[in-house]
Amino acid sequence: MNRVTIVAIDGPAGAGKSTVAKTLARKLGFLHIDTGAMYRAVTLSALRQKADLKSDAELEKIARDSKIELKPGDPENKVFLNGEDVSREIRTPEVTQASAHIANSVPVRKILVSRQQQMGRSDSAPYGGAVLEGRDIGTDVFPDAQYKFYLDASVEMRAERRLKDLEKAGVKTSLEKVMEDVKARDERDINRAVGGLRKTPESIVVDHSHLTVEGSADALYQYIRQHAR
């Protein structure tokens, strides 16, 4: 595989895209780019600065001024905002709720999509390619990606996974509340004016509801190896 092989993994919130993408990238020896974490990092910065989340001008400046680094970690990747490890802070309910404003900001999306494309196509990185996951990777960020997957899972399974993540972070809530949040998030993601959640005609759909992370990652890995270009 050449240096710029791109693997795009799209799908709804809580489907397990990040963990599957990270595992797949490790199997392939590729760079893993968590695009959602980048939007969350900008969201955290905006909240800290008490910015007007409806002001594209304010959000654009914050995005431009935010130095975001994604580094491999064990068990989870690390996210750094201006040199600070914010891996846990960006997963709080407050950031999750506010991130919709950031994701809907056209200027912010332009900035972050450009950075994601640069990271994925960087010839300076010692990788054979990149694995990116999000909502619009195969449609907007890398429409020319060699491999496009759509990772899906039932609302119930996604809510259970999200609840476990929140419990690990010390956040107390209920499965019913999390399920409501997941459904609302799906509605927002599908109806976004920009960067909406969509499948491409060529996307390979994988139902992750009853598969382990390793199982899903291995299924994608075997497909890529069998269809290597």
pLDDT in tens, 75-131: 677 899 999 999 999 988 899 889 988 988 999 999 999 999 988 876 545 567 899
Q: What does the domain layout of the chain look like in residue ranges?
A: 8-221
Contact call for residues 43 and 141 (beta carbons, < 8 A) = no
Contact call for residues 117 and 142 (beta carbons, < 8 A) = yes
Give how far the C-alpha of residue 102 lies from the chain's centroid of Cα atoms, to the nearest Å.
14
Question: What number of residues does the chain have?
Answer: 229
Distance CA 7, CA 133 (A): 8
pLDDT of residue 2: 42
Quote the tokens at residue 160. 């259970």
pLDDT of residue 195: 75
CA distances from 151 to 11, 125, 128 (A): 5, 27, 23
Task: Count the helix, strand and coil residues of the chain and give each as a percent rounded to the nearest 5.
Answer: 50, 15, 35
Single pTM value for the model:
0.82
pLDDT of residue 1: 40
Who wins on pLDDT, 229 or 126?
Answer: 229
Q: Indicate the residue type of 158.
A: R
State the CB neighbour count (10 A cutoff) for residue 29. 11
Q: Which CATH architecture has domain 8-221?
A: 3-Layer(aba) Sandwich (3.40)
Average pLDDT, the chain: 88
Contact call for residues 135 and 61 (beta carbons, < 8 A) = no
